[in-house]
Amino acid sequence: MTEIIFLVEEDPEGGYTAKAIGESIFTQGETIEELREMVRDAVQCHFEEDQRPKLIRLHIVRDEVIAS
């Protein structure tokens, strides 16, 4: 595996959550910077060193409601 993708969303209670697509990895952080660190740590814990993806992609999704 060369890349892993995380779906990042704002948590309604504050901060951000990240869930890996295709893997059982979930983490959260108060800021985007903290979330990046938590994602790196989660990937290192989930994969053996020789199996780790080379790239981690964060796909940030933001819901926005516009009144008509």
Any idea where the domains of the chain sit in the sequence? 3-61
10-56 pLDDT per residue, tens: 999 999 999 999 999 999 999 999 999 999 999 999 999 999 999 99
Q: Would you say residue 1 has pLDDT above 80? A: no
The pLDDT score that the predictor gives to residue 50 is 92
Residue that has been written with the tokens 């992609």 in this structure? 57
Phi/psi for 46 (5° steps) reads -80, -35
Please tell me the distance from the alpha carbon of residue 32 to that of residue 1, in angstroms, as a whole number. 25
- The reported pLDDT for the residue numbered 64 is 84
Query: For residues 19 and 6, is the Cβ–Cβ distance under 8 A?
Result: yes
